[in-house]
Structure 1
Amino acid sequence: MSTETMNQGVSRRRFLAGMIATTAASVIGGSLLAPRNALAASEMKPIMDRHVLSGSHWGAFRAKVVNGIWVETVPFEKDKHPTDMIQAVREVVYNPARVKYPMVRLDWLKHGFRSDTSQRGDNRFVRVPWSQALDFFYHELERVQNEYGPSALYAGHTGWQSVGKLHSAGTMMMRAIGLHGTYLSKAGDYSTGAAQVVLPYVAGAMEVYEQQTSWPLVLEHAKTIVIWGSDPVKNLQVGWLVPDHSPYAYYEQLAEKVRRGEIKVIYVDPVVSETQKMVGGTQIKLNPQTDVPLMLAIAHTLYTEQRYDKDFIADYTTGFDKFLPYLLGVNDGIAKSPEWAAQLCGVPADEIRKLARQMASGRTQIIGGWCLQRMQHGEQYAWMLVVVAAMLGHIGLPGGGFGFGWHYNDAGAMTSTGPLMSGFSGVTGVNPIHNGSYRGYSPYIPVARFVDCIENPGKTIQWNGHDITYPLMKMAIFCGNNPFHHHQDRNKMINAWQKLETVICVDHQWTATCRFADIVLPATTTHERDDIEQYGNHSNAGILALPKVVEPMFEAKDDFDIFRELCRRFDREEAFTEGKSQMDWIEHIYNGARLQGRGLGVRLPNFKKFWDETGFVEFSGGQPWVRHESFRKEPDLEPLGTASGLIEIYCKTIADMGYDDCQGHPMWFEKNERSHGGPGSQAYPLNLQSTHPKHRLHSQLCSSTEHRATYAVADREPVYLNTQDAKSRGIRNGDVVRVFNDRGQVLAGAVVTDDFMPGVCRIHEGAWYSPLEGGKPGTLCTYGDPNVLTQDIGSSRLAQATSAASALVDIEKYTGAVPAVTGFHGPSEVTDINPLFPAMDL
């Protein structure tokens, strides 16, 4: 045994010995699920009734607080289209799934990193003091860095940030861990993983997160709007920052124009969307995953009928001549005609021609969604949509072209001229203590392949022109992030998860990720701490103070304090805080915007007046704007960010990568699984959609008990299926059903509707994983997590993005005894720790 290992062993003995005196009594105490009323009476000091202006991912609101308890939520008066979800935000603070105390998984407490990892997920945890939990955290950081180096520590996995410029959970984590040592990080994200890789090669920018053409210009100039696999009315309820919901006024105007026949709106979708229900228009119902054949057939029609814009293709694009042989079938003998596409997508050839002619008849705005790139070969959909828009020739004109972000972040709203606040940075400029070698492994991995990495250390994959060699991952840290929601093939994930030695999770809800962790640290919610945020996303309508609504519940700490105290253990507290308190940072962030505002001619009050008196500063609206207008006007002076500066219909850079599943121009590739006669459909005939939910933000708000009851069916996540599909299976509205395939099985509540075409069903992503037998692969999910059923394969070797939308299932009425839902409460309580100590592996 090395001296280093001996010292680590001594440290562990000290950690555990100290727990005997400090922990046993607290663990034997009462239930971890103390009622909120009891908590309020015993732990919170009564204060005067007050109303607090604050904000969230669902909008701004005024919280009524009585005797320290948040009792009512009223939407912000400046939000003219608030979402009903705002009523669920209070429940984020008060629900049975709150993480109340620092907790350590029972067997990890006994054996540390040598624990029986097959017990993860069995929900047996022991409450420990904060100091002890952070000591364990630091000890594991040291052990992994010293024994394996940075490639074994995965700490770059982040998801949706917390609202607030200071308290971004992932940023806090990366700043602190980065001061200790370098680590394995991620590339890309789950939301737009395929599109964000291919579109910079094709259109010069990610496109997916960009502002879109101002809605007033679209309403004035567009003749046709094609909404392709997108549902803005559903998805604009939430935002990355605090949404102002201003685009809803434009959708109301659009609905009026549709009623008057001034604009034609066409939905290419197998489902009647919320946008279609509000706005009206006509629907092209196509078989799932066959959007690319339909687009190719539109392009074929535009070309063969000479309806495409030859001048735009010549002046603003490159590679059309290399794409044409594929389109016309010169090379493979298959012309991508409407007749060819009709056999795949189920849309009659004449209807395809009619759609193409309508799009070419006047100014057309194409609104593309994200779900269609979250499938096998999802890059092809994004690429081909740009090609169709280029052939129409409307790119850069008001009310024309393409966009991939219309359903996100108040897109299309007028952007103000107000300042933008910077946030708390994940880097400090201070060198890490540990800066070891990655030992030939890659320092980052595509995020959607992280389970594949755990499962296959040493494996080399291709990604975006690079070789990625998976490291031997030993430890993972997640902060304000729930990979047990957003990753696919849950049972494969559970099996791979057992290879990790230590998992640490910092959160305020007992998500499945927490249940599968070894050390769980309780963080405050956004509403139990002070912060500041922009009001409006792309609109940038103002700056909103986020004062603490209520005091922190139980032993929850702010992420800032958690990581500050962790950094203190390796003498980097000063580097982490830069000598500032949390309020100092908030004032610093505000004053940066105030200084920026002076240069823009926008005057902001001093911080004290803003924080103590107004709490909100409103900016005036800006000027209408057209996406890609500068490129269209002066392509030589304002080129795109592509290799050629033009739209690349054929991309030599991608072609030179030599990938068989993503070549030099957009193509149709058959899927591993596809409904309506495609591969796998005989065994599992229904295409499962797992789109963004109507009632949540991903998995956030799923633990809000009262809110969940407003949409759950038989206490389960709804599964939407067509009337014919339900009748043939003997399923009625409200039945508990089993949704299953070879990857897993879930219970859900049936919603029978003709909004979905036959062969298509949907369970919204974000439904919490709730296993019947915790930690056991293959067990029944009692609530309805769709990622029990989805495929964990890369979109292609270019992006290696999620393929969540490529999944087939079947559904049957559940006839057994219906089990209780398991996912929405805290861990099992260990009531007697004393017998455990003699068995500890010290």
Structure 2
Amino acid sequence: MTTERTWLPSSSHWGAFRATTDADGTLHVAPHPADPAPSPLLDNLPDTVRHRTRVRRPAIRRGWLEGGPGPTDRRGTEEFVEVSWDTALDLVAEELDRTRREHGNEAIFGGSYGWSSAGRFHHAQSQLHRFHNTIGGYTSSRGNYSVGTSQVLLPHLVGSSGVLFAHADSWQTIREHTDLLVAFGGLPRKNLSIAPGGVTRHTSAAALRDLGTELVVISPLADDVPTGSRSAWWPVAPGTDVALQLGLAHTLLTSGLHDREFLERCCTGFEVFADYLLGKPDGTAKTAEWAAGICGVDAADVRALAERMAAGRTLITVSWSLQRTEHGEQPVWAGLALAAMLGQIGLPGGGFGHGYGSMADIGDDGPLLQPPTLPMGQNPVSTFIPVARIADLLLHPGRQYDYDGQRLTYPDVRLVHWAGGNPFHHHQDLNRLRRAFGRPDTVVVHETHWTATARHADVVLPATVPLEREDIGGGFRDSHLIAMHQVLEPYGEARDDHAILAGLARRLGTHREFTEGRSPREWLVHMYERWRGGLAAQGHDVPPFDEFWAAGELRLPRVSHPSPLAPFRADPQANPLRTPSGRIELFSAEIDSFGYPDCPGHPVWLPARQRRGGPLHLIANQPATRLHGQGDVGAVSRRAKVAGREPLRIHPRDAAERGISDGDVVRVSNHLGACLAGARVSEDVRPGVVVLATGAWFDPQPDPVRPGESLCAHGNPNVLTADVPASRLSQGCAGQHAHVEVERYDGPVPPVRTGEPPPLAER
């Protein structure tokens, strides 16, 4: 006799799904039945939810437990002592109170940058910030690692980043209207699995399989070119996209192919940019020949592409990866200027896009609808940092720095409270970050697994995974709202972030203010019904919570907000953008007034700083086998490992010069650090380029080549990427590129230790 399975609905950053368990607790997952292109990353879930690296009980680093708070270089090396929840919460509450009394709330950094859940209530960042707002506030972070540079730049140019992110043309519109799509940074299908609030129907991934539009893909990586499409691959040298954009713009200008009427009516500052293209300020005309010499392409091809772009409806898109580099503002700004010269901004399927191929919801055709959200309240502390400056914050209290025309000062942070994120994935120069994490008095982390961030904490509080709690899943432009049912019992003594913070709030006297007297289920009802009321006021009939929960999902009503670019194009005076001029700013007098040499007032070619580290150009892109570091212990991620380490792709010519064969363990190094990886010899990368995806769990061990230093035995490329900002304007992450040397590693190969918890003892 067989028992029919009960499949429960849930959602994740890589898609909505159904889940069930066997009698022994084994998890099974299946994609949402309406998904035309399900993500393979769902197959990481069964291994990760009960993996031996789950944090089972509250744990405290022995040195902090016995010696008390204070700076130390022992974080990341000492054993942890497991304690009761009451002990852990008492100690954390006492330390929060001590810090705010002795140093003020500015001395508390509420980290929580991360992707812990697609659920809207158990969104760790919202929970943590709501809690800190009830106890007097915290130093916060602004922006994100994905598009932190563009988030600062675009408001100066087009009034807001949402003009491009929220209102991107759908793939269906592109299919119907676009003759040519020119993709700077490519259209990697691997990224189209992912969106912060989840994806029910992966329409972007499905659309790329049969787009029909002519594509020119500009990237050093062949897998940035969609399969099954009419694509031309331009394998330019990494970091030279701006030179190509300028060479194309110069050709349009000198051939009279630019749209003078659009530039005069809808833009400001073109004459300054045109003078730069012609070389009037610096004596160097940005010709096709000039661009070809930098990019490694043929000048005749550059001129032909410019003419092809002007001959029909053309969409120019710049991937998010290009702004995660030094001078990352420039490819975005130059791409916008190139599109403006074609005069098609505001036309369906034409103009400029930013992020196609970078995220599933860019180009999705779902409704523009904000899902239910947890109110966070107001932060009484105004101090913030740009998110990618966390190591600078900890290492240099009192130091001044530039940011978007302001002169700011790093506060003296004494306590770091992090939930739902892993800075040892996102950040650069991890050896420097380790030193930075040694400076605070106390580091408190809520974690599901023993990640590197947990191992570098003083207090680790075990958190549940989404399948161990109830929530509401909803993403920007997703087609459905998902009732995320609880499928599993919590692992060990794990608690959800709300319960953890409610316990702290009770000890600090703000329990009523934090919880408002509601249980998590009551919060879900409250959030949903408040959201439902807003839709009812707009004329949409949405069922009550009980019906939604029983059904497991809700197909969202078609709520659209037309792009402001179409009415702006029709009448810029009546429908101005929120820029100083009301128009597209090809020259920004405001940015120019800041006087930043690394980001002047118009798009420019700024060569990278003097090359250091080695002859090979490393691209540290997003992985295809997990989301950031999430799921690294899952089956999909593990199958891609080489000798148990992250694979490094290298061109056959570069491999042969170094005596490297496919499957070899290799040492990747530069002046910042070193790691071990597994070689994958491939012609899908440009010669002189190697690719090592981010997200392998950081595993620092003694470096036998450099005594006294460490290497990552697992292959995390962020030991090699410099912790420098894109520019003084944005202070954005610039961790996409580095220069390295790669050698076959013939010494004793250390075991990878990330699959086991750190040494644990009981009190």
Say yes or no: does 1:310 pair with 2:276.
no
Matches within 5 A, 1:482-501: 482-501=422-441
Residue in 2 that maps onto 1:37: none
Pairwise CA distance, 1:593: 2.9
Query: Are 2:351 and 1:412 aligned?
Result: no
Deviates more, 1:303-312 or 1:346-355: 346-355
Shift of the 644–81 alpha-carbon distance from structure 1 to 2, 3 Å rule, reads: same
Between the aligned partners of 2:695 and 2:525, the Cα distance in structure 1 is: 35
Q: Does 1:284 align with 2:234?
A: yes
- Kept after mapping to 2: 8 A contact 1:213/1:627: no
Structure 2: distance between partners of 1:108 and 1:708: 34
Q: Residue 186 of structure 2 contacts residue 224 of structure 2 at CA under 8 Å; is this kept in 1?
A: no
Inter-CA distance 537–623: structure 2 relative to 1 (3 Å threshold): closer
* 1:104-140 Cα shifts (integer Å, max 9, x gaps): 001111111136x211111510001111111111111
**1:649 aligned residue (572, 586, 590):** 586
CA deviation string 1:397-448 (max 9, x = no partner): 111011113232333232338x643211221x6xx8xx7xx8xxx8111121
- Report the residue type matching 1:124 in the other structure: E
Look up the match of 2:489. Answer: 551
Q: CA deviation at 1:373?
A: 0.6
Q: Relative to 1, partners in 2 of residues 1:739 and 1:278: Cα closer, same or farther, differing over 3 Å?
A: farther
CA contact (8 A) 2:469 2:486 kept: yes
Deviations 1:357-386 (A, max 9, x none): 111111101121011111111011111110
Aligned pair in 2 of structure 1 residues 722, 589: CA closer, same or farther (>3 Å)?
same
Q: Residue 183 of structure 2 is aligned with which of 214, 223, 227?
A: 227
Give the whole-Å Cα distance in 1 for the aligned partners of 2:614 and 2:165. 35
310-319 or 160-169: which moved more? 160-169
Amino acid corresponding to residue 780 of structure 1 in structure 2: L
| Residue among 663, 674, 698 paired with 2:628 | 698
Percent identical across equivalent pairs?
Answer: 38
TM-score calculated relative to the size of structure 1: 0.87
Alignment partner, residue 44 of structure 1: none
Q: Partners in 1 of 2:714 and 2:128 — Cα distance?
A: 31
Q: Aligned residue for 1:33?
A: none
Assess if the C-alpha contact under 8 Å between 1:485 and 1:699 holds in 2. Answer: yes
Q: CA shift at 1:596, angstroms?
A: 2.9
Shift of 1:718: 0.8
Residues 720 and 752 in structure 1, CA contact (< 8 A), matched pair in contact too: yes
Query: Distance in 1 between the 2:494 and 2:24 partners?
Result: 16
Aligned pairs for 1:314-463 within 5 A:
314-407=264-357, 408-416=359-367, 420-427=370-377, 443-463=383-403
Counterpart-to-counterpart distance in 2, 1:387 and 1:319: 10
1:172 is aligned to 2:110: no
Match of 1:35 in 2: none
After superposition, where does 1:698-737 map in structure 2 within 5 Å?
698-704=628-634, 706-737=635-666
Q: How many residues align?
A: 755
Cα pair 2:372 2:527 within 8 Å, conserved: yes
The residue number in structure 2 matching 1:684 is 614
> Structure 1 residue 571 and structure 2 residue 528: aligned?
no
1:161–1:168 Cα contact (<8 Å) kept: yes
Q: What residue number does 1:191 align with?
A: 146
The residue type paired with residue 190 of structure 2 is K
Aligned counterpart, 1:635:
572
Superposition TM-score, scaled by structure 2 size: 0.95
Structure 1 contact 48–67 (Cα < 8 Å) conserved: no
Q: Structure 1 residues 825 and 123 mapped into 2: Cα distance closer, same or farther (>3 Å)?
A: farther
Partner of 2:545: 607
Q: CA deviation at 1:148?
A: 1.5
Contact kept? 2:253, 2:274, Cα under 8 Å: no
Shift of 1:626: 6.0
User: Aligned partners of 1:596 and 1:178: how far apart in 2?
Assistant: 26
Per-residue deviation, 1:623: 7.5
- Distance in 2 between residues matched to 1:371 and 1:290, nearest whole Å: 13
SS in 1 for 2:73: helix
Cα displacement string for residues 653-685 of structure 1 (whole angstroms, at most 9, x for unaligned residues): 001111111111111112125xxxxx33xx611
1:141 aligns with 2:92: no
Provide the C-alpha distance between the structure 1 equivalents of 2:620 and 2:220, rounded to a whole number of angstroms.
Answer: 13
Match of 1:761 among 690, 715, 731: 690
The alpha-carbon deviation at position 532 of structure 1 amounts to 0.9
Residue 503 to residue 544, structure 1, CA distance change in 2 (3 Å) = same
Task: Encode CA deviations 1:56-78: one digit per residue, 9 max, x unaligned.
Answer: 11111111222371431111111
Contact 2:318 2:331 in 1 (8 A): no
Contact 1:772 1:822 in 2 (8 A): no
Question: One-letter code of the match for 2:340?
Answer: A
Amino acid paired to 2:693: H
What secondary structure is seen at the aligned counterpart in 2 of 1:545? Answer: strand
CA–CA separation in structure 2 for the residues paired with 1:249 and 1:448? 33
**What's the RMSD between the two structures over aligned residues?**
2.0
Higher Rg: 1
Does the 8 Å CA contact 1:125/1:830 hold for their aligned counterparts? Answer: yes
The answer as to 2:451 corresponding to 1:511 is yes
Name the aligned partner's letter for residue 416 of structure 1. Answer: P
> 1:145, 1:272 → 2: CA distance?
52
Residue 596 of structure 2 is aligned with which of 655, 659, 675?
659
Q: Aligned match of 2:404 in 464, 467, 477?
A: 464
Is 1:770 aligned to 2:699, yes or no?
A: yes
Residues 466/779 of structure 1: CA separation in 2 closer, same or farther (3 Å cut): same
| Pairing 1:80–2:31 present | no
User: Structure 2: how far apart are the matches of 1:170 and 1:420?
Assistant: 17
Change (3 A) 1:107 1:329: same
1:121 aligned to which of 76, 79, 82: 76
Q: Distance in 2 between matches of 1:662 and 1:457?
A: 25
8 A Cα contact 2:97 2:508, kept in partner: no
* Residue 786 (str. 1) matches residue 717 (str. 2): yes
Q: 2:246 aligns with which of 296, 306, 311?
A: 296
The equivalent residue for 2:527 is: 589
Counterpart of 2:46? Answer: 90
Partners of 1:197 and 1:219 in 2: CA distance: 31
In the other structure, the counterpart of 1:38 is none
Matched, 1:63 2:63: no
Distance in structure 2 (CA, Å) of the matches to 1:467 and 1:92: 44
| Residue segments in structure 1 that go unaligned for 5+ positions in a row | 1-46, 258-262, 674-678, 834-842
Report SS of the residue matched to 1:273: helix
Q: Hey, what does 1:537 align to over in structure 2?
A: 476
Q: Check the 8 A contact 1:58/1:237 in 2, yes or no.
A: yes
1:668-710 CA distances to partner (integer Å, 9 max, x unpaired)?
A: 112125xxxxx33xx6111111111111111111122x23222
Q: Which residue of 2 aligns with 1:162?
A: 117
Residues 565-593 of structure 1, C-alpha deviation per residue, up to 9 Å, x if partnerless? 10001111110111111111111122123
Q: Secondary structure at the match of 2:148?
A: coil
**Which of 83, 102, 107 does residue 58 from structure 2 map onto?**
102
Q: Is the 2:540–2:557 contact (alpha carbons within 8 Å) kept by the matching residues of 1? A: no
Task: Supply the distance in 2 between the matched residues of 1:780 and 1:362 (Cα, whole angstroms).
Answer: 52
Cα distance, 1:157–1:479 mapped onto 2, change above 3 Å: closer
In structure 1, the residue corresponding to 2:710 is in which secondary structure? coil
Structure 2, gaps ≥5 residues long:
none
Shift of 1:627: 7.0
Whichever residue aligns with residue 112 of structure 1, its letter is G
- The residue that corresponds to 1:19 in the other structure is none
Q: Retained in 2: the 8 A contact 1:414–1:623?
A: no
Alpha-carbon shift at residue 743 of structure 1 (Å): 0.5
Does the CA contact (< 8 Å) of 2:188 and 2:226 recur in 1?
no
CA distance in 2, matches of 1:156, 1:634: 43
Conserved? CA contact 1:421–1:592, under 8 Å: no
Task: Determine if contact 1:789/1:807 at 8 Å carries over to the other structure.
Answer: yes
Match of residue 192 from structure 2: 236
Quote how far apart the aligned CAs of 1:624 are: 11
Cα distance change of structure 1 residues 51 and 276 upon mapping to structure 2, 3 Å threshold: closer
